[in-house]
Amino acid sequence: MIDLNELLKNLISAPGLSGYESPVRTLIEQAWQPLTDELHISRLGSLHGLRRGSLTEPRPSVLISAHMDAIGLMVKGLVGEFLRLTQIGGVDARILPGQAVTVHGRQDLPGVIVQPPAHLLPQPYHEAAVPLEYLLVDTGLTAQELARQVRVGDLVSFAQAPLTLAGDAIAGHTLDNRVSVVALTACLELLQKRLLAWDVWAVASAQEEETLGGAFTSGFQLRPSLAIAVDVTFAASPGSPSHNTYPLGKGITLGWGPNIHAGVFRAFEELAKKLEIPYAVEVIPRHSGTDGYALQVVAEGIPTMVIGIPLRYMHTPVETVSMKDVRRAGRLLAEFITTLDETFLEKLSWDA
């Protein structure tokens, strides 16, 4: 049986920034190897795992996408003994000063993000958050050594170690969205003992944080009958509005809005009630900000669902998630897949 906690810690400890997912993809491939019938990598770098169904070919298929890429930083310039930065994905500069990082140069270098003394910054930033353009990375190397080791365009990833908290919670960077990869892995493990009618495509997608390119291209290549995007959503934290956030450890979310197929939503909601899996309806009136959007509009359109795992402090190095919710998401996915039969698509309706 897979230790999901250890798997998650391993995945968030590996680099894999958006567009550069190879290190973490290797770990996911190792985890999925015994759980799938076939594995391959798309031209854009997404990992596809196939679990074959039992219906006569051509079989319907369901694609479950969990993006594996992460936000991070990139070297923009060298200034003597220091590195200037730009961002990959949505990085909030307010949380960067003092953070430990790894600079992926000719070799991996430990570093720390620093800022000049307040009196040396432009006056508006003497007592305010310092923009990314003024932040630097100090690796401890001399200017000459640094120039030999690091080049413009090298990646910089967060280096804080995962932290196990009380209440079955884990904190760390990159939980968005490696937690959903772990939920999908839990789903695949549960399906090992099930006879499935449909084919199942497990996708660890690339580039969600920047382009949605992995979901667009994998959806187009695999052409599933249904698609499910699994991602994190905003968990309640101090000062957060209750109508826009969801309790940590109290259940997953089922997306509802134009990005989601109403018939697939109803099937998930009925199943969650039957299994007594706690959930909340997450209203998503526009683009969901997940792989769900890309999957929905591929080719002639794919009926799509979005599942959310509540996460505190999104896009920071101390994102926090409850493993209870991760396991709930994995179980609901597995149970839904086992309900798919030869009549499901015939009965699927947007309006019914």
Set out the domains of the chain in order of their start, with CATH numbers: 4-70+173-347 (3.40.630.10), 72-158 (2.40.30.40)
Nearest CA among 257, 194, 170, 268 for reference residue 226? 268
pLDDT at residue 118, as a whole number: 77
Do residues 105 and 214 touch, judged by C-beta distance below 8 A? no
| Whole-number Å distance between alpha carbons of 74 and 176 | 19
Q: What are phi and psi of 263, to 5 degrees?
A: -65, -40
Q: What are phi and psi of 50, to 5 degrees?
A: -110, 130
pLDDT at residue 137, as a whole number: 98
**For residue 205, how many C-alpha atoms fall within 13 Å in the half-sphere facing its CB?**
35
Q: What are phi and psi of 204, to 5 degrees?
A: -95, 100
Nearest CA among 189, 179, 220 for reference residue 48? 220
Low-confidence stretches of the chain (pLDDT < 70) are 352
| Whole-number Å distance between alpha carbons of 228 and 339 | 15
| Whole-number Å distance between alpha carbons of 73 and 205 | 20
For the chain, the first-to-last Cα distance in angstroms comes to 40
pLDDT at residue 292, as a whole number: 97
pLDDT at residue 111, as a whole number: 98
Q: How far is CA 139 from the centre of its chain?
A: 29
3-state SS of 29-69 is HHHHHHHCCEEEECCCCCEEEEECCCCCCCCCEEEEEEECC
Which pTM was predicted?
Answer: 0.95
| Whole-number Å distance between alpha carbons of 176 and 60 | 30
Three-class secondary structure of residue 288 per DSSP: coil
- For residue 133, the tally of other CB atoms under 10 A from its CB is 10
pLDDT at residue 153, as a whole number: 98
Nearest CA among 211, 189, 209, 210 for reference residue 200? 189
Exposed, middle or buried: residue 241 (CB in 10 Å: 0-12, 13-18, 19+)?
A: exposed
pLDDT at residue 122, as a whole number: 78
pLDDT at residue 215, as a whole number: 98
pLDDT at residue 62, as a whole number: 98
Q: How far is CA 61 from the centre of its chain?
A: 22
pLDDT at residue 103, as a whole number: 98
| Whole-number Å distance between alpha carbons of 114 and 62 | 46
The torsion defined by the Cα of 63, 69, 71 and 76, in degrees rounded to 10, comes to: -140
Pairing of the two strands 136-138 and 82-88? antiparallel
- C-alpha distance from residue 204 to each of 109, 153, 156, 163, 167 (Å): 27, 25, 22, 24, 28
Q: What are phi and psi of 218, to 5 degrees?
A: -70, -40
Q: What is the pLDDT of residues 129-139, one digit of tens each?
A: 888 999 999 99
Report which residue type is found at 139: T
